[in-house]
């Protein structure tokens, strides 16, 4: 990676991407869209949070990109990042699998690999 970011800075960036990913998953989900359609809210209404086709396309592209990056990573690293940032999991999920030192060592490597991939894609 070209920038030298510390552990906390990487966490902050990936956490922000995780929040956007979760938001995108909700806004592009069928139940979400169907709910607003059922309520009679038109897609161009400000009440419809997936405001227009451009926003929906943006969210769909974000989901595809992040899934592609996570899918291309080492499986163990991907699981750590998905559970910590991209999916709703218990914050202590890792206690069943790793010691504290192993978890943080692997998490650091996972974040490095993720940030490198995102940097290569010019996303960070």
Q: Which residue has the higher pLDDT, 42 or 76?
A: 76
Tens-digit pLDDT profile for residues 79-106 = 999 999 999 778 899 999 999 999 999 9
Q: Which residues contact 88 (CB under 8 A, 6 or more apart)?
A: 22
Average pLDDT over residues 48-64: 75
pLDDT value of residue 52: 60
- The pTM assigned to this predicted structure is 0.78
Which tokens hold the place of 76?
């163990």
50's enclosing H/E stretch is none
Question: Does residue 101 sit in helix, strand or coil?
Answer: helix
Return mean pLDDT, the chain: 83
Instruction: Quote the CA–CA distance of 22 and 30 in Å, as a whole number.
Output: 14
Average pLDDT over residues 4-18: 94
Instruction: Quote the CA–CA distance of 30 and 123 in Å, as a whole number.
Output: 27
Whole-angstrom CA distances from 117 to 61, 65, 73 are: 16, 11, 9
Which tokens hold the place of 19?
């929040």
Domain ranges of the chain: 7-120
């Amino acid at each position: 990676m070209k920038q030298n970011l510390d552990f906390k800075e990487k966490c902050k960036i990936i956490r922000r991407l995780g929040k956007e990913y979760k938001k995108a998953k909700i806004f592009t989900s069928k139940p979400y869209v169907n709910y607003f359609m059922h309520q009679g809210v038109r897609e161009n209404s400000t009440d419809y949070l997936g405001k227009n086709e451009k926003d929906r396309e943006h969210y769909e592209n974000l989901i595809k990109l992040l899934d592609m990056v996570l899918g291309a990573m080492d499986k163990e690293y991907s699981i750590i990042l998905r559970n910590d940032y991209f999916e709703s999991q218990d914050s202590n999920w890792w206690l069943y699998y790793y010691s504290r030192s192993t978890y943080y060592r692997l998490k650091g490597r996972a974040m490095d690999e993720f940030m490198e991939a995102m940097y290569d894609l010019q996303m960070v």
